[in-house]
């Protein structure tokens, strides 16, 4: 076989494998129902993506944010306007709903579509907290049977209009949604 033929075959294989890699990183397979968890599976609606190891997350102001590991349930980020606030394993901002009570979520139906609950799977350890997160993490069972992560008893949510780490567009929405302070 000619050297040019071998090179062409190798290049073709690399291009094909690269295409598969790109496709699957942009379109990860959905986790089976009830199997999603904090480990980076796309269980949080707009917050999917596999975070393996430790990643540097950018802050909302463009500065470097907190280091969040894929096995951490809660970490922190900050910006000049809000100061320090909680983020999930994937670096996305977490919110509380002032109409909730400790240990009970009142956000269901369309509310839960716009404010996806932070769901933990049975394999997740919600007590894996980044240094500086001083409150207590736990879970509650929602009406649909899923386990929602709580912080100091209050259920945690994402906001559908936050698209990247550091977004805090849910702060103050309707006068009832607020970022969570560590």
Altogether, the residues listed in the chain come to a count of: 182
Whole-number pLDDT of residue 16: 72
Whole-number pLDDT of residue 72: 78
* Per-residue tokens: 63: 């500065």
Dihedral over Cα of 68, 53, 114, 33: its sign = negative
Whole-number pLDDT of residue 80: 96
What is the CB-side half-sphere exposure of residue 150 using CA atoms within 13 A? 18
Structure-model confidence comparison of residues 172 and 8, the more confident one: 172
Whole-number pLDDT of residue 68: 45
Residues 59/68, Cβ–Cβ less than 8 Å: no
Separation of CA 92 from chain center: 5
* pLDDT tens, residue by residue, 11-49: 666 667 666 555 555 554 444 343 344 544 344 433 333
**Tally of CB atoms within 10 A around 97:** 21
* pLDDT tens, residue by residue, 120-176: 988 788 888 988 899 999 999 999 999 999 999 999 999 999 999 999 999 999 999
Whole-number pLDDT of residue 118: 95
**Tally of CB atoms within 10 A around 142:** 17
pTM of structure = 0.66
Residues whose CB falls within 8 Å of the CB of residue 48, separated by 6 or more in sequence, listed in order: 28, 40, 41, 42, 90
**Which H helix or E strand runs over 23?**
helix 3-26
Q: How far apart are CA 108 and CA 147, in angstroms?
A: 14
| End-to-end CA gap in the chain | 64
* pLDDT tens, residue by residue, 54-111: 333 333 333 333 334 456 789 999 999 999 999 998 899 999 999 999 999 999 999 9
Whole-number pLDDT of residue 144: 92
């Amino acid at each position: 076989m000619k050297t040019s033929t071998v090179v062409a075959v190798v290049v073709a294989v690399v291009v094909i494998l690269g295409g598969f890699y790109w496709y699957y990183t942009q379109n990860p397979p959905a986790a089976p129902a009830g199997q999603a968890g904090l480990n980076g599976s796309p269980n949080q609606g707009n917050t999917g993506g596999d975070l393996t190891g430790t990643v540097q997350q950018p802050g909302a102001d463009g500065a470097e944010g907190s280091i969040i590991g894929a096995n951490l349930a809660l970490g922190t980020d900050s910006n000049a306007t809000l100061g320090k606030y909680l983020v999930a394993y994937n670096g996305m901002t977490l919110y509380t709903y002032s109409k909730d009570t400790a240990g009970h979520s009142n956000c269901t139906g369309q509310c839960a579509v716009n404010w996806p609950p932070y769901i933990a799977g049975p394999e997740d350890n919600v007590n894996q907290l980044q240094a500086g997160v001083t409150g207590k993490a736990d879970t509650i069972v929602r009406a649909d049977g899923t386990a929602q992560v709580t912080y100091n008893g209050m259920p945690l949510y994402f906001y559908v209009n936050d698209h990247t780490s550091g977004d805090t567009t849910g702060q103050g929405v309707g006068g009832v949604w607020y970022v969570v302070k560590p």
